[in-house]
Amino acid sequence: MGSTVLFSPAKINLFLAVTGRRADGYHELVSVVVPVDFGDTLGIETRAGDEFTLECADPAVPRGESNLVLKAARLFAEMTGRAGGAAFFLEKRIPIGAGLGGGSSNAVAALRGLNFLAGEPLDAAALAALAARIGSDCALFLPGGPVVMRGRGERVEPLAVETAARLRGRRMLLFKPGFGIGTPWAYAQLAAAGEKNYLPAAEAEARLAAWSRDARAPAEAILFNSFERPVFQKFPALPVLLENLAAEFGLAAHMSGSGSACFAFLPDGVATNAVAARIHEAWGMAALVVETKIC
């Protein structure tokens, strides 16, 4: 019997190029993704028997087998052949339908925790393979720092140390309107508009390579998201505010993943309170506004 508590970070896509659609319906992408110091907390207690349970005070968190924590636990038991159950306690802060990878991050925290409590039966490669089976946005959380993600999300490599150093510690404001966006819906919108929403893979790779090579290129220079065009068309409240933040505060704000959360780097000297007030004025008090930084 044992227990552990893990931090389960949110992620932000600084660069998200959807490069095309595959025969199986999934999309190919090239993305620079960073974990931030804002996130959930997952407690795990091993239990006799073979049952996995999840407690969470947030009613929006899916229950039962559709929850990625329970899916992770089931796959971990299957892959390791280990008997024994566990109780999971999730303190939820990352909103759902935000493009912040909350559910995927929770699943990876569950995998890590179960592996630790079992004496590390799975190595890094086995954990990566398992993570990819849980969801496209899971494997990116395993390295624990800035990564480049390719394929449908399962091919992940850490950014070169000097490139990651340009990102780590950068302060950002994370903000989300009261509504969320479902990832399958956003992909369907993007696909419906055909080729014009895809950035060809060669161009995505060339942009990434040029940014990585240029040691003076700031984090701001890589910002791009293929989902912005289709999602902004349906939710004009997003681009209207982002344009206002650019005009009034000089902030280059973008959406993360398939939305609806957005983010902006905070240059020194920008009054965070004034920006937060502007966001609440535009999106109402139901909007979430958090200051965070890249891990």
Write out the residues near ligand C5P by the rule CB under 6 A.
Answer: 26-27, 29, 135-137, 152-153, 183-184, 187
Q: Is 256 helix (H, G, I), strand (E, B) or coil?
A: coil
Residue 50: active-site member: no
Ranked by CB distance to ligand C5P, the top (closest) residue is 136
Q: Cβ of residue 61: shortest distance to ligand C5P, in angstroms?
A: 16
Residue 137: active-site member: yes
Q: Cβ of residue 153: shortest distance to ligand C5P, in angstroms?
A: 5
Q: Cβ of residue 248: shortest distance to ligand C5P, in angstroms?
A: 34
Q: How far apart are CA 66 and CA 258, in angstroms?
A: 20
Q: What is the distance between the terminal CA atoms of the chain, rounded to a whole angstrom?
A: 31
Closest to ligand C5P by CB, 139 or 264? 139
Closest to ligand C5P by CB, 63 or 213? 63
Angle in degrees, 0-180, between the axes of helices 237-249 and 272-283, rounded to the nearest 10: 150
CB-CB contact of 261 with 102 (8 Å): no
Q: Cβ of residue 187: shortest distance to ligand C5P, in angstroms?
A: 4
Q: How far apart are CA 86 and CA 53, in angstroms?
A: 7
Q: Which of 40, 71, 92, 137 is catalytic?
A: 137
Q: How far apart are CA 137 and CA 184, in angstroms?
A: 13
Any idea which residues carry the catalytic annotation? 11, 137
